[in-house]
Amino acid sequence: MVKKLLKWSAGLLGLLVLAVGCLIALAWWRSNSALDQHYPPVQAQVDWAGGDLQRGEYLVRTRGCADCHGQDLSGGVVIDAPPFGQLVASNLTPVGVGDDYYQKHLVNVLRGGLDRNGQSLIFMPSHDYMTMTDAEVADMAAYLSTIPAAENPALPPMNVGPLPRVLWLFGAFPLVSREHMDLSLEPAQSIVVEASADYGAHVVSMCKGCHGGQLAGLTSPVAPDTPNPANLTPTGSMANWSEQDFFTAMREGRRPDGSQINEFMPWKTVSQMSDVEIRAIWLYLRTLPPRAQGENG
């Protein structure tokens, strides 16, 4: 009897291993196929010569570029965990992208989720930036084109492991950036930088990659060893916050109860925003309808 049980157990274990192997192989093949696909370039009429370098530096510093690409923009490892592999943000200086990259390719990156070859970027939250105005894109390009070359010999190559591929297969991980681009969205035509809910709606687009399309948070982490992104609607954790509480959280990373906000939430980046922008975000969040955690449909 014991021998039979052992035999059955070994057989079931073998089938399980085979099933997992087949799942990984399928995920590998499907993800490679998606990443190998080519797309046409994004059509845009950007006045590159009109880019404002100072405004561009502000946008680069406050829209999260340095969180992944490093303070000197020479690249960084975003996720480094054996099942995930190493998900790497590239070197954005001339060492990594060349001298004329931005005017040629920045529109495709931000509005198409595409690399210089017309293929999907990997784990790049391009969808957070696709409604930026032409002027904002030109401003960012103006600044990025001036940053000094910075070597980063410690930067490893991109190495996508099996877990993000399997999660992607089930729609649980944003591996293929192109798939998250809503191409029906039009870039904002013009904006007025002011403390208003309308401007806040424009700025807060950068928050949706983690907090969800309706800003209701997520029911699972975005990356290993991080908390679930918070629900920013009136039923979420900020339900009883005042405007000053929000400013303190964004400037100091501290909640009203004194607890510290996890640094995966890039409050240090947001802290560099002007008072006008932080207040605009607050005003917009106050207009959101109540939603349950993760209710982003």
pLDDT at 190: 84
pLDDT at 8: 67
Q: CA nearest 178: which of 121, 129, 130, 222?
A: 121
* Spatial CB neighbours of 184, under 8 Å, sequence gap ≥ 6: none
Tens-place pLDDT, residues 77-112: 999 998 899 999 999 999 999 888 999 999 999 999
pLDDT at 221: 85
The residue ranges of the chain whose pLDDT is under 50 are none
pLDDT at 28: 97
pLDDT at 222: 82
Q: Can you read off the two tokens belonging to residue 68?
A: 């992944």
pLDDT at 5: 65
- DSSP output for 38-77: B-PPPP----GGG--HHHHHHHHHHTTHHHHH-TTSS-EE
pLDDT at 236: 94
What CA–CA distance (Å, rounded) separates 161 from 167?
A: 11
Going along the chain from its start, the domains and CATH numbers come out as: 1-187 (1.10.760.10), 191-297 (1.10.760)
